[in-house]
């Protein structure tokens, strides 16, 4: 089966960011739509081709999960701006072919959401209202909750009708992809209801996925999602574990899962960084972070970059603690300011690698084939091919702390290569063997010339 095609095949890198932690245009300490709008060209220059925003709807006084708790499906939170501000942002994105995605959580509503408030009042008053049936009520009158909020019945057709109206509203305003959060938390999960949602989004040309995309779950295989990871968002390739354990077999398992995703009609994607860990990446040594960043910048799939992984601190790190997600997906401005313009800094490496990904088709969306090496236990090498088949690259990653001299066996398909980062020319011997030196957690990104 071919991979699902759509706008995402030309938009390889999406930045996952909380609006609240983005750019603040009015000095109130809260990021907003205007702040983002003023930095679109900055993001594009960095190689970013779209944004995944935390749910943009009004959250009122409940900022749990960084604004995911919707109190009103059809309005933005005033701290982000106005609907007119959002529309200006969406229009400027459309002018640049820069995509907007959002989370839209179906498994709970806010306590002040008008549909829950109406259902609560109707039940208390003994009046008929179809929204009462959206929820399960205990004998004492309390509502059943999901994550401490009213949890609608996902199998209720009236609730699904209302949920789709809000999806339609935001797609009309410029959102072209959705992350519908943790499918395992949906109350009364039903494959038919999931298909109503996914078919609706796909009919409008949208990208739709969810958290916890484990392929052993029947609803994931048959639910109609057109994008997935086969596990949690950060676990398609599990390169964090591969680096920490110095074991590239995780990458090989990821390639097998990638093929399964495609066979089930899902475009593979991978998230770089875990937004639940702060203030910086899970990787706690700079050479390891550099390897992880280069690995993600050369993947054949859509990559979602968590904003807190845009750079790396200039001071030593302890393992970062898990914290409340309202602090997550935040750009560390102090580090960016210290590192910007320094060609040897982590931030400038990130910008260089991902802008390269945006320009070079062989490092972007396409295909990947592992190449054999004489260091299989510590090195992963691959032949990358662009989606249109016109450009190729060889990528080589050393997952070992020890430097390695490695032989990559490419047969006669590769003869001359050029290092993307320094312009150095490299050649194979007469039998298609490429010999390379790799430093501790080192990597090579090589364009195939012939």
Task: Summarize pLDDT for 43-81 with one digit per residue, the tens.
Answer: 999 999 999 998 899 988 887 777 789 999 999 999 999
Q: Give yes or no: residues 344 and 380 share one domain.
A: no
Q: Are 332 and 279 in contact (CB under 8 A)?
A: yes
The upper half-sphere exposure of residue 422, i.e. CA atoms within 13 Å in the direction of its Cβ, equals 5
Q: Give yes or no: residues 204 and 220 share one domain.
A: yes
**pLDDT category, 103, cuts 50, 70, 90?**
very high
Instruction: With a cut of 90, say whether residue 312 has pLDDT above it.
Output: no
pLDDT value at residue 422: 96
**pLDDT category, 283, cuts 50, 70, 90?**
low
Q: Choose among 281, 330, 327, 273: nearest CA to 66.
A: 327
Q: Give yes or no: residues 353 and 406 share one domain.
A: no
Decide if 439 is inside a domain: yes
User: What element of type H or E holds 210?
Assistant: strand 207-211
Higher pLDDT, 417 or 431: 417
Decide if 149 is inside a domain: no
Neighbouring C-beta atoms of residue 143, cutoff 10 Å: 19
pLDDT value at residue 318: 53
Decide if 279 is inside a domain: yes
Q: Choose among 189, 180, 283: nearest CA to 233.
A: 180
Q: Are 20 and 31 in contact (CB under 8 A)?
A: yes
Decide if 39 is inside a domain: yes
Please give the sequence-ordered ranges of beta strands (E in DSSP) within 242-390, or none if there are none.
267-272, 302-306, 366-371, 379-386
pLDDT value at residue 431: 85
Instruction: With a cut of 90, say whether residue 96 has pLDDT above it.
Output: yes
Backbone angles phi, psi at 441, to 5 degrees: 50, 40
Decide if 133 is inside a domain: no
Q: Which domain holds residue 211?
A: 7-107+154-359
- Give the three-class secondary structure for 441: coil
Long-range contacts from 136-145, C-beta under 8 angstroms, 24+ separation: 136/187, 143/116, 144/187, 145/108
Decide if 128 is inside a domain: no
Decide if 139 is inside a domain: no
- Give the three-class secondary structure for 439: coil
Which of 337, 359, 381 is the endpoint of a domain? 359
What's the CA gap between 18 and 329, in Å, rounded? Answer: 6
In this prediction, residues 188-212 reach a mean pLDDT of: 92
The pTM assigned to this predicted structure is: 0.93
Instruction: With a cut of 70, say whether residue 271 has pLDDT above it.
Output: yes
Place of tokens 């992880």: 292
Q: Are 205 and 174 in contact (CB under 8 A)?
A: no
Decide if 63 is inside a domain: yes
Which of 359, 392, 427 is the endpoint of a domain? 359
Q: Give yes or no: residues 55 and 184 share one domain.
A: yes
Query: How far, in Å, are 74, 263, 314, 349 from residue 341 at the CA level?
Result: 41, 44, 14, 11
């Amino acid at each position: 089966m071919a991979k699902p095609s759509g706008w995402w095949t030309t938009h390889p890198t999406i930045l996952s960011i909380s609006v609240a932690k983005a750019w603040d245009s009015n000095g109130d300490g809260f990021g907003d739509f205007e702040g983002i709008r003023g930095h679109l060209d900055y993001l594009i220059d960095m190689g970013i081709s779209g944004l995944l925003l935390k749910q943009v709807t009004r959250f009122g006084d409940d900022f749990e999960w960084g604004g995911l708790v919707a109190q009103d499906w059809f309005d933005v939170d005033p701290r982000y701006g106005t609907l007119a501000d959002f529309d200006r942002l969406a229009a400027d994105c459309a002018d640049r072919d820069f995509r907007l995605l959002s989370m839209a959580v179906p498994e709970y509503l806010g306590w002040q959401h008008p549909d829950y408030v109406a259902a609560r009042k109707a039940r208390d008053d003994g009046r008929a209202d179809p929204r009462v049936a959206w929820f399960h009520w205990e004998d004492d009158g309390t509502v059943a909750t999901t994550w401490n909020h009213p949890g609608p019945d996902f199998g209720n057709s009236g609730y699904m009708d209302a949920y789709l109206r809000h999806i339609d509203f935001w797609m009309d305003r410029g959102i072209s992809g959705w992350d519908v959060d943790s499918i395992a938390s949906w109350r009364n999960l039903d494959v038919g209801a999931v298909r109503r949602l996914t078919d609706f989004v796909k009919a409008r040309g949208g990208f739709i996925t969810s958290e916890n995309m484990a392929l052993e779950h029947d609803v994931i295989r048959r639910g109609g999602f057109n994008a997935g990871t086969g596990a949690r968002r950060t676990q398609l390739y599990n390169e964090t574990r591969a680096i920490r354990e110095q074991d590239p077999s995780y990458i090989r398992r990821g390639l097998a899962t990638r093929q399964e995703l495609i066979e089930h009609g899902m475009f593979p994607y991978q998230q770089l960084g875990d937004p639940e860990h702060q203030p910086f990446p899970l990787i706690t040594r700079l050479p390891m972070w550099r390897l992880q960043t280069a690995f993600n910048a050369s993947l054949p799939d859509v990559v979602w970059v968590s904003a807190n992984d845009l750079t790396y601190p200039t001071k030593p790190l302890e393992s970062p603690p898990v914290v409340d997600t309202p602090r997550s997906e935040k750009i560390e401005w102090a580090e960016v300011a210290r590192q910007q313009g320094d060609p040897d800094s982590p931030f400038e490496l990130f910008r260089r690698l991902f802008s390269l990904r945006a320009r070079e088709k062989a490092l972007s969306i396409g295909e990947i084939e592992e190449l054999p090496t004489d260091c299989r236990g510590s090195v992963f090498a691959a032949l990358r091919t662009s989606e249109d088949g016109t450009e190729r690259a060889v990528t080589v990653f050393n997952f070992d702390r020890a430097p390695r001299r490695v032989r990559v066996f490419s047969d006669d398909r590769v003869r001359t290569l050029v290092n993307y980062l320094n312009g150095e020319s490299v050649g194979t011997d007469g039998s298609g063997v490429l010999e390379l030196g790799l430093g501790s957690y080192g990597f090579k990104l090589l364009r195939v010339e012939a």
